[in-house]
């Protein structure tokens, strides 16, 4: 039984594509056959972050319009055995995504026994973003700890609750998860940033994880490597935690009790560290 | 954005009821209206958000010889209202309206509401109502209950009734009830009770934090944030009328 997971946020630049790449890779690393689809038609970033931009021959829109078969367009990831990427088209715009076309592609992926189909949503609340969330079973709402990002996430949750197929058919609602990215415990301690508790209080959906702000993410994207492969980095570990919690059964409290949040507390550098410098 | 499966016809007509804002004009000189609107919105030119608006000419203080329609329409657009129709037009004014492209609604085109609440400074009364619903009856006046958080950009309208929010609302949401608003959880966003002029309506919440509250058309905004004494606390809002006018009173609510 395949699960469609949308990574969405409303606001741009919060880390949707980074998160899509990391979570899709994390699921594949745990042995689940996973496809990740770039819905950002016209901009196309996911292939860069996954490091497969030179292998794009056919894309999502080609498949929807019948110019290529799905199996021709899927790119096998170079690092994970079970991971395939369906890149976006750079030359079309988002109107090329029709609801019937997207449904057809997702149905075909289901038939190909993909366990997880990760949809990387474009920013905004227009057609492309709506197409990305229409078929979702679960949603990871990616939010930065700042008010405009929180408000946009709130808006996209509302859209999820009205425009997703599950909502329209009156099925069990899309399962929502809150993922806070680019979190800086130091800036939270100094009162410059919303804390993860504040964000959760504002959005009132279950928290699946907190990803710390890190320079390593930029390096990883430039190298075309999903952040979860950055061995030993806090970002990779935080994403691995998110994937583990995502796969865990049970209530949000139970899951967080079993695998508590990491990298959310700020320790003031001690005197010696301050004198002799940090890292 | 759900699309129907391929349609055989290129065009279809459907009927729908919609919420419109009615602006009851007592005067028609654009500068005078501009002053009044400026006062009412308290310097928030984006208070409205492109709502469809029906101009009601049935309560004009005097029927003028000439109305500056371009001036009036651009004034409404400036305040982010979109005039789409006029109603209760005195016959003398029909000729001048031809050029405006506004629909002229037949008498009784909109459901009659109870008399609008007197607004401050004889400014136009702002109210929400729906086109062509059946008249209110006892059966319809059931309370509207919302079981999920109301999110940014979502709007609910409890016509003829109270509304109960069980999971609160977010900033950027809009809650309108012809009756009272009861909220168990954080109440944020725009909260309008007594939507069709019921000045006895009240607002109750266990956690107060809206951007604007209104009862029967009387508004209060929180430009500098909600005061600490009531922010996040159980609160009760009502409209008090005394000799100096009408005033929204916001008081802590004692919960045991």
Q: pLDDT, tens digit, for every residue of B125-174?
A: 333 333 444 445 545 558 999 999 999 999 999 989 999 999 999 999 99
Best B3, B4, B7, B153 member to test A by mutation, with max A CBs in 10 Å, is B153
Of B218 and A271, which is predicted with more confidence? B218
Decide if pLDDT at B25 tops 80. Answer: yes
| Chain B touched by A134 (CB under 8 Å) | yes
Decide if pLDDT at B91 tops 90. Answer: no
Decide if pLDDT at B114 tops 60. Answer: no
Contact predicate B30/B75, CB 8 Å: yes
| Chain A touched by B155 (CB under 8 Å) | no
> How much is the pLDDT for B144?
94
| Chain A touched by B148 (CB under 8 Å) | yes
Contact predicate B206/A186, CB 8 Å: no
Whether residues A155 and B171 touch (CB distance < 8 A) is answered with: no
Whether residues A100 and B5 touch (CB distance < 8 A) is answered with: yes
The 3-state DSSP class for residue B78 equals: helix
* A264-278, B85-99, B212-226: least confident range: A264-278
Decide if pLDDT at B46 tops 90. Answer: no
3-class secondary structure per residue, chain A: CCEEEEEECCCCCCCHHHHHHHHHHHHHHCCCCEEEEECCCCCCCHHHHCCCHHHCCCCHHHHHCCCCCHHHHCEECCCCCCEEEECCCCCCCHHHCCHHHHHHHHHHHHHCCCCEEEEECCCCCCHHHHHHHHCCCEEEEEECCCHHHHHHHHHHHHHHHHHCHHHHHCCCCCEEEEEEEEECHHHHHCCCCCCHHHHHHHHCCCEEEEEECCHHHHHHHHCCCCHHHCCCCHHHHHHHHHHHHHHCCCCHHHHHHHCCCCCCCCCCCCHHHHHHCCC
Q: What's the rounded Cα separation, in Å, for the pair B186 and A276?
A: 47
Decide if pLDDT at B5 tops 60. Answer: no
- Chain A's closest residue to B2, CA to CA, is A163
Mean pLDDT of the residues in chain A: 94
Beta bridge partners of B118: none
CA distances from B18 to A128, A265, B36, B52, B247 (A): 27, 50, 27, 9, 30
Nearest to A151 among B152, B167, B168 (CB): B152
Count chain A–chain B contacts defined by CB atoms under 8 A: 44
- pLDDT tens column, B188-197: 999 999 988 8
Whether residues A158 and B153 touch (CB distance < 8 A) is answered with: yes
In chain B, which residues have their Cβ closer than 8 Å to the Cβ of A151?
152, 170-172
Nearest to B170 among A98, A130, A154 (CB): A154
The top-scoring range by mean pLDDT among A19-23, B62-66, B148-152 is A19-23
| Chain A touched by B3 (CB under 8 Å) | yes
Best A132, A157, A166, A203 member to test B by mutation, with max B CBs in 10 Å, is A157
Residue window 66-125, chain A: list those with CB within 8 Å of chain B: 98-100
Whether residues A99 and B167 touch (CB distance < 8 A) is answered with: no
- pLDDT tens column, A236-250: 999 999 999 999 999
Instruction: Report the pLDDT averaged over residues A145-158.
Output: 96
Instruction: Report the pLDDT averaged over residues B15-31.
Output: 81
Beta bridge partners of A30: none
Nearest to A158 among B154, B171, B186 (CB): B154
Decide if pLDDT at B2 tops 70. Answer: no
In chain B, which residues have their Cβ closer than 8 Å to the Cβ of A157?
151
Beta bridge partners of B21: B53, B128
pLDDT band at B109 (very low <50, low <70, confident <90, very high): low
In chain A, which residues have their Cβ closer than 8 Å to the Cβ of B167?
204
Whether residues B171 and A100 touch (CB distance < 8 A) is answered with: no
Mean pLDDT of the residues in chain B: 81
Rounded to the nearest 5°, which phi and psi values hold at B52? -65, 135
Whether residues A154 and B2 touch (CB distance < 8 A) is answered with: no
Instruction: Report the pLDDT averaged over residues A221-244.
Output: 95
């Amino acid at each position: 039984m395949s699960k469609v997971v949308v990574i969405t946020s409303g606001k741009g630049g919060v880390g949707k594509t980074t998160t899509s790449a990391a979570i899709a890779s994390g699921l594949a690393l745990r042995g689940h056959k996973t496809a990740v689809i770039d819905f950002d038609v016209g901009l196309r970033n996911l292939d860069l972050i996954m490091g497969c931009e030179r292998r794009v021959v056919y894309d999502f829109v080609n498949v929807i319009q019948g110019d290529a078969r799905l199996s021709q367009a899927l790119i096998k990831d170079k690092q994970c055995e079970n991971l395939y990427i369906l890149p976006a088209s750079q030359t079309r715009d988002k109107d090329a995504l029709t609801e019937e076309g997207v449904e057809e592609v997702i149905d075909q992926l289901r038939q190909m026994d993909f366990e997880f189909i990760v949809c990387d949503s474009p920013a905004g609340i227009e057609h492309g973003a709506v197409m990305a969330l229409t078929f979702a079973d679960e949603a990871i709402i990616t939010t930065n700890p700042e008010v405009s990002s929180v408000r946009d996430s709130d808006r996209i949750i509302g859209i999820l609750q009205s425009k997703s197929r599950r909502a329209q058919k009156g099925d069990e609602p899309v399962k929502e998860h809150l993922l806070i990215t680019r979190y800086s415990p130091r800036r939270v301690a100094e009162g410059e940033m919303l804390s993860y508790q504040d964000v959760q209080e504002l959005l009132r959906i279950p928290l699946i994880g907190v990803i710390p702000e890190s320079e390593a993410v930029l390096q990883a994207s430039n190298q075309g490597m999903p952040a979860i492969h950055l061995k030993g980095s806090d970002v990779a570990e935080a994403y691995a935690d998110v994937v583990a919690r995502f796969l865990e059964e049970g209530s949000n409290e139970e899951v967080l009790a079993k695998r508590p949040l990491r990298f959310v507390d700020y320790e003031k550098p001690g005197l010696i560290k301050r004198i002799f410098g940090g890292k | 954005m759900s699309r129907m499966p391929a349609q055989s016809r290129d065009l279809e007509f459907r009927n729908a009821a919609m919420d419109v804002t009615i602006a009851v004009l007592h005067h028609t000189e654009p500068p005078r209206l501009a002053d009044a609107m400026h006062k009412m919105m308290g310097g928030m030119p984006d208070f409205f958000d492109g709502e469809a608006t029906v101009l009601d000419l049935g309560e004009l203080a005097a029927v003028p010889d000439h109305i500056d329609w371009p001036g009036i329409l651009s004034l409404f657009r400036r305040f982010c209202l979109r005039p789409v129709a006029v109603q209760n037009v005195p016959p003398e004014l029909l000729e001048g309206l031809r050029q405006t492209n506004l629909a002229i609604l037949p008498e009784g085109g909109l459901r009659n509401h109870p008399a609008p609440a007197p607004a401050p400074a004889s400014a136009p009364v702002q109210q929400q109502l729906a086109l062509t619903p059946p008249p209110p009856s006892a059966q319809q006046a059931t309370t509207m209950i919302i079981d999920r958080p109301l999110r940014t950009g979502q709007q609910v309208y409890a016509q003829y009734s109270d509304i109960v929010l069980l999971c609160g609302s977010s900033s950027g949401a809009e809650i309108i009830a012809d009756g009272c608003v009861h909220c168990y959880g954080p109440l944020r966003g725009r909260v309008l009770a007594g939507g069709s002029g019921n000045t006895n309506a009240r607002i109750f919440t266990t956690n107060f934090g809206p951007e604007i509250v209104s009862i029967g058309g009387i508004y209060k905004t929180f430009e500098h944030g909600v005061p600490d004494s009531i922010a996040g606390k159980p609160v009760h809002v009502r409209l008090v009328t005394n000799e100096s006018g009408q005033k929204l009173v916001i008081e802590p609510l004692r919960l045991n």
